[in-house]
Structure formats: structure tokens, C-alpha cells
Amino acid sequence: MRGPHNRKMPTQTKFPWHQIATAGVGAVLDTMSTEESMRLADEYGTHNYKPLPVNVVRGEGARVWDSEGVEYIDCIGAYSAVAHGHLAPAVVRALQEQLTRVTLVSRAFFSPELALFLQALAEYTGLDMSCPMNSGAEANETCIKLARKWAYTVKGVPKDKAEIIVTTDNFHGRTTTIVGFSSETKYKEMFGPFGPGFVEVPYGDLAALEAAITPNTCAFLAEPLQAEGGIIIPPDGYMAGVRQLCDKHNMLLIWDEVQTGFGRTGRKFGWQWEDAEPDLMAVGKPLGGGVLPVSAAVGKRHVMEILEPGDHGSTFGGNPLAAAVGIAALAEMEVHDYAGRSERLGRRLADGFRALNSPLVKEVRDRGLLVGIEVHEHVDSAAVTKALLAERIVTKETRKRTFRFTPPIVTDEATIDEIVARVGRALASVAGS
């Protein structure tokens, strides 16, 4: 009897090796149907995602097109990664120029691209040094390693006893270390055993945080505003209070700004809504300008300098191509005031959603262009997703029955108003059904 892991594979056409070698990848992609794209992904890829039934073949600015030429407004923006819009000209130009020079040399050499990237990161973030990586999860893992080595070499925590305090409903990536301290069962079930050293407290609760601190506590790790957790805004004074507790108890403050950073919340970084400067910060997503995975752990010199050769590394982290793209992405965000633009457009979007007065909506939560619509418990969220797609709005539900709206920051006012109108029609159709 065949089980799920040894089922007979259906007969497929052979991979077009020779066509690709002679005509290029694009020639094959141009002939692939939506049905074929979905079938191949389902057959040959793991099912760790549940994509929307939209086969995207082209993007520009805040819009994407499927293989049938249908246009959608991208309200996911690759979970904040496409802040610059699809195919941002300045970023694409930097990518193309660097492709004529050198792309990958590893950290066995110096490169002028990396040098300039590191300077740009320091000036933009206001922090001293950085360790370039690729994904947001890698950036967070780097911060965890830095905090632990700091605990043993500086704070004097006994070996292998360092503790990092995290929060409920956290999301910092999907490595085994990180999912091990997730409060979301589906992220961790069947992936254990997990390592010790993490203590969970309720998000937004300063008293619970202080009660959890011990002499072995070396750091507190959290998003300043929870994105994946359902666009959760902390109580006023929470972030500043966290900073004060870290100073009081000689522990590091680590903010995960992978989804909230680089202007998304209406400030350069989410922690800037209060006086809550971190010792370490994980950044990523928009740092790649929507074209490459680029991330970094950024921090204060006295923490970053504890890393020595051999302690940590990444073959692709800080490669010249990624560095050039990161430089261009940072320059666009700085020169064109992405933070101010996000604050203005986000207010317009959230106010528009509230003005709809939909009976389906429990609450609209927002900081800058990080906006969530939470629907009531009785609402069929799958029907809402379907209605949004019918209105050619691309977004998905995250935790707490909240639909996340993080369109590119380059989106204009007219598109913001169009999003509101389309969402209004989608909600009305579900409410009337």
C-alpha cells in the first residue's frame, strides 16, 4: 500500500533544459499558464504556504498583474519588504550596475560596496556597527548570539545560563531556535525539542517583564509593534518603560524591526515613537529594496565588538550585490522621507477604513502604513479574503482575525483612496450575503 510519502507521481513533461539554455528562462516563463504554474508548485514544492490563487508575473509600483493580465493592488507588499514598490527604478539601476562589476566574493575579502553599506546603515539607524546577513530570521539569530556572548563575557552570567525574555504572540522568524519560544502552537508543534534560555511574558505588560527578570537575564527581545501578531500597538509608555528596565537591570534591549523598520510605522523605526533606543536591532525586508534578501544585526559598539573571527558568519551576508542594493534602498528611504510619507498615507488609509463603518469590522489599528482591520468573531474571514480578491485587492489574514494592509510606501493618495473603496465594496458584499 502506498502511503503519503511514496505516492506515485503523475507523468509530467520533461524540464525544458535545452530551450532554457538557448532561449533563456524568460522565453519559457512567457509561455507558462496559470494552471501549469500552480500545478508544478503543488507537485514539486512543500506545502508550507497556502498562497492566494493569483499567479503574479509582473509588478510595478504598488500594482501587480497575473498571467491573464488582471491588475491587482498589492496590499501585502511582501510583508513590508516591498516598501519601495515593485521594480523601484533607483534600486533596479543599482542592481544592474553592480552586475557588471562583481556580485559575490564572500567575507574573505574587503569590498567597497560593503564598506559604504556599513556606513550607510550606521548613519541611517543611529547605531554604531552592523553584521550583515540575508533574512530577518538570520538577523534575529545574530542578535540572540550577540546577547548571549555579552552575557558571559561582560555581564558575568554563568556559562549556558543566559536568559532572554520574549513576549506572547511574538514573531521573529521560523528557525528552530526562534519557533522554540513562539506562543503560536502551529509554529512549533512537531519541531522540538527546543533549547532553553527563553522566558515569555505578556506583550505590553511592564510589571510582568520586571517580575521575570533574574540575575541571568541578559536581554529583552520584542517587536516594538507586533505586525504578524495582528497589528498590535503597545500601551503608551511601554517602549520607554522597557528601555528603563533594561538600564536598571543591566540587560540589553533588542528590537526586531524587520517588519516595522525603515519608515513603515511613520518613524524611521518603530521604537522612535518613544524614547526607547535599542542596544541591538534586527533589520531586513525593505533593506533589500524589493529585489534581494538583505538583512543585518545593528547595534552599539560595546556589544557588536564582542564578535571575533569565527564566531559568526554568512557566505552571502554583505555580498557586493546585496550591499549595492542596500545602499540604494537606504538612500531612497532617507532622501524621499519614507517615514513621513508612511505616516501621512497610513493615516489616510486607516481613517478611510474607519469611515466605512462596516458592521463586519471590530477594530482598525494603525501606525503609519502598518494598518490592520480586525473582523468580528462571527465573520467568515475566508469569505472576506475571496471578496477582496474579487475587488483585485491582494492581502491576507494574520492572527487575531486581522487583515494586514502594508502596501508599498511609494503608493500615492489616489491609490490609497482606491484601496479604501475596493475594501468597502468587498466588506459590503460579505455583509449583504
Report the CATH number that the domain containing residue 249 is assigned in CATH.
3.40.640.10
Same domain? 124 vs 273: yes
Host domain of residue 63:
22-81+337-433
Q: Give the type of residue at 179.
A: V
Residue 104's nearest CA partner among 290, 324, 328, 330 is 324
Total domain count, the chain? 2
Q: Which three cell numbers stand for residue 359?
A: 458592521
Same domain? 380 vs 293: no
Same domain? 290 vs 393: no
Residue that is written with C-alpha cell 489616489 in the block: 414
- Contact (Cβ atoms closer than 8 angstroms) between residue 201 and residue 165: yes
Q: Which three cell numbers stand for residue 249?
A: 537591570
- CATH at residue 397: 3.90.1150.10
Using DSSP bridges, classify how beta strands 129-133 and 295-299 pair: parallel, antiparallel or unpaired.
antiparallel
Tell me how many degrees the CA angle 297-299-305 measures, rounded to the nearest 5. 95
> Using CA atoms, how far apart are residues 417 and 307, in angstroms rounded to an integer?
48
Residue 400 has a pLDDT of 75
User: Would residue 157 count as lying in a domain?
Assistant: yes
Same domain? 57 vs 154: no
What is the number of residues in the chain? 433
User: Would residue 221 count as lying in a domain?
Assistant: yes
Residue 10 has a pLDDT of 53
Q: What is the pLDDT along the chain (433 residues), one digit of tens a residue?
A: 344 445 445 545 689 999 999 999 999 998 888 999 999 999 999 999 999 999 999 999 999 999 999 999 999 999 999 999 999 999 999 999 999 999 999 888 999 999 999 999 999 999 999 999 999 999 999 999 999 999 999 999 999 999 999 999 999 999 999 999 998 888 889 999 999 999 999 999 999 999 999 999 999 999 999 999 999 999 999 999 999 999 999 999 999 999 999 999 999 999 999 999 999 999 999 999 999 999 999 999 999 999 999 999 999 999 999 999 999 999 999 999 999 999 999 999 999 999 999 999 999 999 999 999 999 999 999 999 999 999 999 999 998 799 999 999 999 999 999 999 999 999 999 999 7
User: Would residue 174 count as lying in a domain?
Assistant: yes
Residue 81 has a pLDDT of 97
Residue 433 has a pLDDT of 76
Same domain? 231 vs 179: yes
Residues serving a catalytic function are 171, 256, 285
Same domain? 218 vs 104: yes
Same domain? 70 vs 107: no
Count other Cβ atoms within 10 Å, centred on residue 302: 12
For residue 289, CA distances in Å to 77, 104, 335 come to 11, 18, 14
User: Would residue 115 count as lying in a domain?
Assistant: yes
User: Would residue 376 count as lying in a domain?
Assistant: yes
Dihedrals φ, ψ of 252, to 5°?
-85, 145
Same domain? 184 vs 150: yes
